[in-house]
Structure formats: C-alpha cells, structure tokens
C-alpha cells in the first residue's frame, strides 16, 4: 500500500520494536485511538468512529455504571478470592440466576481461553476421553490445549488427531435439513475419533459460530447434535464468549436459542465490559470430581474489581434494556440490508441474530465469496468513520457486533455508508 504518514509510521515502528511479529494492527493505516463512549471510538486526530467491531465493551464503552463500580471497588479492596468478600459471592449468585438447572455453580477465570481450558479438563476427567469435536474455522482461545481445539489458529497443518472438525451448520454443507446434517456430521466425527482409538470427551461449539462466518439459524438447530454427542457418551460445552450476555437479542445465552442445556458453559469477553473476567458455569458434580483430582485456583480470576464490573454489566444490561435493543436494532439492520441488496449485488447472504450479524460479500459476476472486496470495504468504511471486521473461512463475511447500545440512527449511518461504498 501507500507509505504511511511519518508520525504514524513512527508509532507502528515503535510498536513492532517492542512486540515483534506477534503484534497485530488492523487497517492499511493503523488507527491511533485515545478514548471511547457508547458505540463511538475517538482517534487522536479527533475523528469519531462508529464502532461495529468491539463486542467486549458490550454495554457500551465507558459505561458510567461499570466505571463507577470499578473505581469504587479498586479503592476499597482488590485481592484474590480466598477470603469471604461480599461482592464476589453476590456476583456469583447474580450470574448463576441467569442459568437453567442443573448449571448451578461457577469457576471464575480471567479470559475465555482459561474458561475453555478448564472446560476441556472437566470434560476429559468426567468422560475419561480426550477426543473433541469442533467446527472447521472455530477459535476457542490461546492456551496450548485450547489451540488444539481451534482449527482457525493453524496457519500450517491442523489440529491433532484427537480433534475432529465438522463444517458449520449451513445449507451449503448440509442442504435443507441443517440440524439433521450437522448432527450426522458430529456423530460421524465421533465415530472416526473412536475408530482411531481416541475416546470421545466433548462437542465444543461457539453457539453462534462466529469465526465460522456467523450461523444462528434455524433456532433449535443444535438440539440433535447435542443429543448425538450425549448418546456417544460425550459432554456438550457451549462457548458463550461471543453470543453470551444478551447479544443475540432474545436470549441471554446462545445455547438457549437452540433449546439445549449444556453440561459446561464458558464465558469471557463481554462479562466484565473490558475488565478481565471469564467463567465456567457447570454442574456441581463436574466441579466436585475435578476438585477431587486437581483443585482449581486462579489468582486474578473473580477478583473483587472484576466481580464489581461483572455485577455492573448485569445491572446495565437490565436497566438499559440492551437485550431488547440488540433484537430491535439487529432486525433493523437486517431489514435495511435486505432493502439495499437489489442495488448492491455484492451483498450476499445476511445471517445472524440480534447484534451479531454476518454479511457475505460476493462477486457481482458469479456470486462467489470475495474476500478482497470485503477487505476493501473494511478499509473503506474506516475512511468513512466506521469500524468493522470480517469472519469466516475465507474472510469474506463482514461481522457486525457492536456494543449493544447501538442506536437505529447509528445503524442507519452504517448501512448508508456501506451502500455508498458499494455503489460508488
């Protein structure tokens, strides 16, 4: 691309000097940000960007309730959880009240990766298996064990033999009966694991299949796959790092849209609105068995400041009506995109639920996936003050997952700019 302005070039060089090749910066012209409120990110040159990318500050960047709760708690007490601390126990009760029986207990962590790492350990201990079934472009985190169940993390090769990946639930892979086809694929993957001598432990999926390109429909689709996994003696782990905390607009958890109750639920990202807070919600028997074999302690997991943030997130979700807002504004975006499509043949399928939408960008000529066009749109939208990312195996699916406080007017601005770019 074109050379960067000198000041920006210096900042990028400085970043690379400290962080080396693992440092990832978005955009051809990386963004220098200095602040954020609601669904708006402010850059150092004063430009206000509409944020459709960041799902961690889920109740809004700088939400006053969360800021105040953190400020108050950090000045009062912040320590590990081996003492009785009211905010920790109160938060756990508030969180668990959002789960169906028999998911009545929680282990608090700091990240989604730690949550999935613990979930794998619980499932493997309970089943004496090692085999895990995931989806083809899944990402579940960054520890050694969780990387093994994250096919999207491999730039060369792929997961070990005790991990089997199945295509995500979409008619392109399974025809009209997506639920039945997906369940068959899971059952076949389990059979292949067992045939190779890898006893089956768990089916692990992100319940909105975000890195696979966002697959939410039809509601209920997971039920037969979960039944198949259980018939084969495995557990079902629902990764709620992406869809959890009301994002899908009708349910607090992605698994609930599908009418299933997992054995283990893993939480992260939006849980603390940016304060490091994650968790594993599960059945008491699974935690008891694990405690007998290993025990679990996480120094920073569920510290008082994180729990204060988590409690404020639950308050803000309810008081600001954010789940309903996610439903209404998400449906509004989908409608506006449908209206735009006739004039913009590059807009392919639009999928998702609530404020988690995937917009396929395709070639107008033949309808094929067009990741280069998606990349140009991401950079073009940034030049027009809108931040968005992409997902899916080919990277051609624009991913809309803003803070849940996004307004209909902000959504209109996005659709308007997308249309202008596509027509321009």
DSSP assignments along 46-92, one per residue: SPEEEESS--SSTT-BT-HHHHHHHHHHHHH----SSS--HHHHHHH
How many CB atoms neighbour CB 292 within 10 A?
Answer: 9
* Binding of ligand PMP by 242 (CB under 6 A): yes
Q: Give the x/- contact pattern for ligand PMP in 142-171, rule: CB under 6 A.
A: x-----------------------------
**Residue labelled with tokens 């506006």:** 336
By beta-carbon proximity to ligand PMP, the closer residue of 164 and 269 is 269
Closer residue to ligand PMP in complex, CB, 69/208: 208
352 sits near ligand PMP (criterion: CB under 6 A): no
Only one of the segments 41-49, 138-146, 192-200, 256-264 lies at the binding site for ligand PMP (rule: CB under 6 A); that segment is 138-146
Q: State how far the Cα of 411 lies from the Cα of 325, in Å rounded to an integer.
A: 12
CB of 418 to ligand PMP, least distance (A): 24
Region of 308 on the Ramachandran plot (φ > 0 left; ψ -120 to 50 alpha; else beta): alpha
Q: Which is nearer to ligand PMP, 214 or 241 (CB)?
A: 241
- With CB atoms as reference, the residue minimizing the distance to ligand PMP is 112
Query: Which listed residue (131, 181, 268, 272) binds ligand PMP by CB under 6 A?
Result: 268
Is 112 a binder of ligand PMP (CB under 6 A)? yes
Decide: is 141 part of the binding site for ligand PMP (CB under 6 A): yes
Residue 111 binds ligand PMP, judged by CB under 6 A = yes
265 in Cβ contact with 225 (< 8 Å): no
State which residue, 302 or 419, has the beta carbon closest to ligand PMP. 302
Q: Near ligand PMP by CB under 6 A, which window of 15-23, 154-162, 238-246, 328-336? A: 238-246
Choose between 226 and 271: whose C-beta lies nearer to ligand PMP.
Answer: 271
C-alpha dihedral, 274 to 245 to 322 to 220, nearest 10°: 150
Which residue bears the tokens 């943030």? 309
SS3 64: helix
Beta bridge partners of 205: 238
Q: How many residues bind ligand PMP (CB under 6 A)?
A: 14
Rounded to a whole number of angstroms, the minimum distance from the CB of residue 145 to ligand PMP is 12
Residue 4 buriedness (CB in 10 A; 0-12 / 13-18 / 19+): middle
Report 184-223 residues binding ligand PMP (CB under 6 A).
Answer: 206
Sign of CA dihedral 169, 174, 179, 183: negative
376 by DSSP, 3-state: which? helix
Smallest separation (angstroms) from ligand PMP to the CB of 56: 9
**Closest CB to ligand PMP among residues 112, 279:** 112
Please identify which residue in 61, 140, 251, 351 interacts with ligand PMP, judged by CB under 6 A: 140
* Least distance (Å) between residue 267 CB and ligand PMP: 9
Least CB distance from residue 387 to ligand PMP, whole Å?
A: 16
Cα distance between residue 137 and residue 165, in whole Å? 8
Other CB atoms within 10 Å distance of the CB of residue 129 = 22
User: Cβ distance 350 to 334 under 8 Å?
Assistant: yes
**Minimal distance, residue 269 CB to ligand PMP, in Å:** 6
DSSP 270: G
Question: Which of 53, 91, 99, 139 touches ligand PMP (CB under 6 A)?
Answer: 139
Site string for ligand PMP, 300-329 (x = CB under 6 A): ------------------------------
- Whether the Cβ atoms of residue 285 and residue 104 lie closer than 8 Å to each other: no
Specify which residues 51 forms β-bridges with: 387
Which residue's CB is nearer to ligand PMP, number 118 or number 190? Answer: 118
Using rule CB under 6 A, residue 241 touches ligand PMP: yes
- Listed in sequence order, the DSSP H helices in 203-361 are 222-231, 254-257, 284-293, 304-319, 322-340
Distance of CA 14 to the CA centre of its chain: 30
Q: Between residues 269 and 327, which has the closer beta carbon with respect to ligand PMP?
A: 269
Phi, psi of 369 (to 5 degrees): -50, 135
Angle (CA) 243 103 123, round 5°: 85
Which of 51, 212, 239, 360 lies at the binding interface for ligand PMP (CB under 6 A)? Answer: 239
Neighbour tally for 107: CB within 10 Å: 23
Of residues 208 and 316, the one with the C-beta less far from ligand PMP: 208
* Least Cβ distance, residue 201 to ligand PMP (angstroms): 18
**β-sheet bridge partners, residue 235:** 202
Q: Which residues bind ligand PMP (CB under 6 A)?
A: 111-113, 116, 139-142, 206, 239, 241-242, 268-269
């Amino acid at each position: 691309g074109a050379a960067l302005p000198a000041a920006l070039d210096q900042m990028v060089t400085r970043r690379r000097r400290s962080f080396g090749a693992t440092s990832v910066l978005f955009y051809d012209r990386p963004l220098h940000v200095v602040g954020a409120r609601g669904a708006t990110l402010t850059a150092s040159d004063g430009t206000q960007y509409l944020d459709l990318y960041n799902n961690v500050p889920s109740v809004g960047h700088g939400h006053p309730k969360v800021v105040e709760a953190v400020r108050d708690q950090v000045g009062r007490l912040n320590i590990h959880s081996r003492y009785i601390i009211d905010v920790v126990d109160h938060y756990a009760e508030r969180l668990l009240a959002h789960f169906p029986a028999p998911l009545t207990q929680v282990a608090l962590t700091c990240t989604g990766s730690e949550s999935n790492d613990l979930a794998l350990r619980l499932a493997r201990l309970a089943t004496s298996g090692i085999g895990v079934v995931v989806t083809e472009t899944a990402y579940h985190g960054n520890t050694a064990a969780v990387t093994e169940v994250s096919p999207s993390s491999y730039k060369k090769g792929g997961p070990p033999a005790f991990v089997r990946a199945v295509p995500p639930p979409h008619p392109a892979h399974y025809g009209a009966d997506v639920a039945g086809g997906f369940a068959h694929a899971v059952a076949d993957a389990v059979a292949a694991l067992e045939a190779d001598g890898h006893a089956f432990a768990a089916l692990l999926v992100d319940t909105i299949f975000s890195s696979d390109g966002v697959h939410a429909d039809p509601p209920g689709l997971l039920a037969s796959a979960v039944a198949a996994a259980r018939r084969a003696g495995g557990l079902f782990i629902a990764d709620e790092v992406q869809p959890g905390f009301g994002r899908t607009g009708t349910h607090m958890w992605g698994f609930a849209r599908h009418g299933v109750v997992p054995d283990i639920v893993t939480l992260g990202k939006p849980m603390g609105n940016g304060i490091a807070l994650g968790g594993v919600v599960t059945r008491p028997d699974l935690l008891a068995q694990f405690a007998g074999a290993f025990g679990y302690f996480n120094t920073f997991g569920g510290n008082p400041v994180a729990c204060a943030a988590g409690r404020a997130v639950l308050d803000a979700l309810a008081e600001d009506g954010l789940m309903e807002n996610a439903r209404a504004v998400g449906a509004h975006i989908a409608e506006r995109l449908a209206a735009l499509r006739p004039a913009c043949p590059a807009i392919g399928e639009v999928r998702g639920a609530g404020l988690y939408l995937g917009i396929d960008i395709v070639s107008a000529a033949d309808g094929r996936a067009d990741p280069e066009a998606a990349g140009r749109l991401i950079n073009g939208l940034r030049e027009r003050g809108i931040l968005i990312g992409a997902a899916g195996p080919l990277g051609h699916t624009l991913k809309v997952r803003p803070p849940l406080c996004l307004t209909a007017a902000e959504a209109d601005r996005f659709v308007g700019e997308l249309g202008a770019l596509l027509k321009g």
